[in-house]
């Protein structure tokens, strides 16, 4: 029987798990990461492009993966939100730009648009070269047992691993969360998002543009050149059906509805559809265990906050574990994990609920909610301090973010 005890075992080598494992291994901790996916196998198609906000970009920079990524990413210079409902005075809108990040470096952007596949490839490459990091993949986490001073995780292939701390970074259906007996709450929106890459008729100037229609938002997210990634929210079943239709029919439907907002669009590919679900874990920690990323919460992707919230978990956990290691504390002990939970639980839950609130507020043309959202967009558009506050919050540039996200 293997008696080696790792400092940290991470289950899930998606963007949050891989980033955490790399940062901890680089800090000298003895880390193992386990993933069901074989990094050497042919890549699965992934139509997502992530809006990685500035704080998250700094975190990725601190583990050395942004040099290559910046060659293929599109800087985000602004976010424009437009109310697509019917108003006698036109369409209220608000534009958040990098000038709203007062005190920031003049070259600072709101973030970067990065293809999901490229981010994963950069992290896979960094993991293959990292010291102090054992990467087991493909390998499936199955179950766990508590042992004195450690937790033992059991893999489907019969191997067991002992570790002082187990981190579940294993996504929305988290088997680690289930093995810990942590329940979830939330709701299925009954909606899906249709995604595709398109070429635009005019330059986008790095501005992400979103129009809120009563049936759901529609966004063009800038990619390199004159391309953009679409996010079109619609009823469950409609997005899935659209993703199966011939491209010329999809293009005709898209332009009939949104050419007045975005100009004429030509679909390049990367068509996909994803169900929208709100899901919050009832706890972020268990005995010698912590959850990060989608394992802890799945949010509505309408404001591009899901992975960015996951990166906040990662940065906060790195901070607590580094402090513990420096002062000789057990990284899996209850006080260390308690501080992590305290740092994240409230902020993460309130952000997830705020996304839910925005969805409820904008996805209808109700007589009661319409004036509130109109007022909100008018205020954000006209009142500088409010706009600056929202821009700093959205790009994780506000006070109180973990050090790793500050870019020092």
Ligand X SMILES: Cc1cc2nc3c(=O)[nH]c(=O)nc-3n(C[C@H](O)[C@H](O)[C@H](O)COP(=O)(O)OP(=O)(O)OC[C@H]3O[C@@H](n4cnc5c(N)ncnc54)[C@H](O)[C@@H]3O)c2cc1C
Binding stretches for ligand X (CB under 6 A)? 11-17, 34-37, 48, 50-51, 140-141, 169-171, 175, 193, 195, 274, 293-294, 301, 304-308, 310
Q: How far is the CB of 293 from ligand X (least distance, A)?
A: 2
In degrees, rounded to 5, the angle at the alpha carbon of residue 148 between the alpha carbons of residues 143 and 153 is: 20
> Which is closer to ligand X, CB of 265 or CB of 303?
303
Which one-letter DSSP state was computed for residue 319?
H
**Which residue lies nearer to ligand X by CB, 18 or 325?**
18
Residue given tokens 């986490």 in the structure block: 141
Q: Cβ of residue 408: shortest distance to ligand X, in angstroms?
A: 22
**Among residues 34 and 325, whose Cβ is nearest to ligand X?**
34
- Residue 334 CA: distances (Å) to CA of 286, 319, 323, 339, 344: 9, 16, 14, 9, 15
Residue with Cβ nearer ligand X (55 or 304):
304
Could you give the CA distance from residue 63 to residue 73 in angstroms, rounded to a whole number? 17
Nearest to ligand X of 277, 329 (CB atom): 277
| Three-class DSSP category at 169 | coil
Which among 278, 310, 306, 279 has a CA at the least distance from the CA of 293? 310
The H or E element spanning position 79 is: strand 78-83
Nearer of residues 276 and 325 to ligand X, judged by Cβ: 276
- For 98, 248, 308, 402, 403, the CA distances from 58, given in Å and listed in that order, are 16, 40, 12, 11, 10
Nearer to ligand X, 85 or 168 (CB): 168
Question: Least distance to ligand X from the beta carbon of 378, Å?
Answer: 26
Closest approach, Cβ 334 to ligand X, in A, equals 24
The distance of closest approach from Cβ of residue 252 to ligand X in the complex, given in angstroms and rounded to an integer, is: 23
Q: Tell the smallest beta-carbon distance from residue 269 to ligand X (Å).
A: 15
- What minimum distance in Å lies between the beta carbon of 155 and ligand X? 8
Q: Count CB atoms within 10 A of the CB of residue 46.
A: 15
CB of 170 to ligand X, least distance (A): 4
214 to 1, 40, 91, 366, 376: CA distances (angstroms): 60, 44, 13, 9, 16
Report the length, in residues, of the chain: 408
User: Cβ distance 250 to 267 under 8 Å?
Assistant: yes
Beta bridge partners of 17: none
End-to-end CA distance of the chain: 44
Q: Which is nearer to ligand X, 34 or 126 (CB)?
A: 34
Determine how β-strand 265-281 pairs with β-strand 227-235. unpaired
* Tokens 């939100």 sit on residue: 81
Q: Shortest gap between Cβ of 387 and ligand X (angstroms)?
A: 21
Closer to ligand X by CB, 127 or 336: give it: 127
| CA pair distance 59, 105, nearest whole angstrom | 17
**Which tokens sit at 16?**
């949050």
């Amino acid at each position: 029987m293997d008696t080696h005890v790792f400092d940290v075992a991470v289950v899930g080598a998606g963007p949050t798990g891989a980033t955490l494992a790399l940062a901890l291994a680089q800090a000298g901790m003895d880390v193992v990461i386990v993933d069901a996916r074989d990094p050497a196998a042919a890549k699965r198609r992934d139509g997502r492009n992530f809006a990685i906000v500035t704080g998250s970009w700094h975190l990725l920079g601190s583990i050395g993966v942004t040099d290559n990524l910046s060659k293929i990413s599109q800087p985000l210079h602004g976010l424009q939100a437009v109310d697509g409902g019917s108003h006698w005075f036109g369409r209220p809108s608000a534009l958040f730009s990098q000038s709203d990040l007062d005190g920031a470096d003049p070259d600072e952007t709101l973030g970067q648009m990065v293809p999901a596949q490229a981010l994963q490839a950069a992290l896979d490459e960094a993991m293959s070269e990292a010291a102090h990091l054992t990467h087991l993949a493909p390998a499936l986490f199955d179950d766990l047992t508590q042992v004195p001073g450690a937790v033992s995780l059991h893999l489907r292939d019969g191997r067991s691993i002992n570790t002082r701390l187990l981190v579940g970074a294993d996504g929305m259906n988290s088997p680690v969360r289930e093995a810990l007996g942590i329940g979830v709450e939330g709701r299925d929106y009954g909606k899906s998002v249709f995604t595709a890459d398109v070429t635009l008729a005019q330059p986008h100037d790095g501005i992400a543009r979103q129009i809120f229609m009563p049936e759901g938002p529609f966004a063009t997210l800038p990619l390199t050149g004159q391309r953009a990634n679409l996010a079109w929210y619609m009823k469950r079943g409609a997005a899935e059906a659209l993703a199966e239709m011939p491209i010329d029919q999809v293009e005709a439907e898209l332009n009939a509805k949104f050419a007045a907002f975005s100009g004429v669009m030509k679909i390049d590919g990367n068509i996909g559809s994803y169900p929208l679900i709100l899901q919050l874990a009832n706890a972020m920690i268990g005995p010698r265990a912590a959850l990060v990323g989608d394992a802890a919460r799945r949010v509505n992707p309408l404001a591009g906050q899901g992975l960015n919230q996951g990166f906040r978990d990662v940065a906060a956990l790195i901070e607590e574990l580094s402090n513990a290691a420096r002062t000789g504390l057990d990284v899996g002990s209850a006080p260390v994990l308690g501080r992590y939970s305290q740092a994240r639980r409230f902020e993460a839950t309130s952000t997830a609920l705020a996304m839910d609130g925005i969805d409820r507020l904008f996805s209808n043309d109700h007589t009661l909610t319409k004036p509130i959202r109109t007022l909100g967009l008018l205020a954000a558009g006209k009142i500088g301090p409010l706009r600056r506050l929202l821009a700093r919050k959205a790009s994780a540039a506000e006070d109180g973010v973990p050090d790793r996200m500050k870019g020092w």
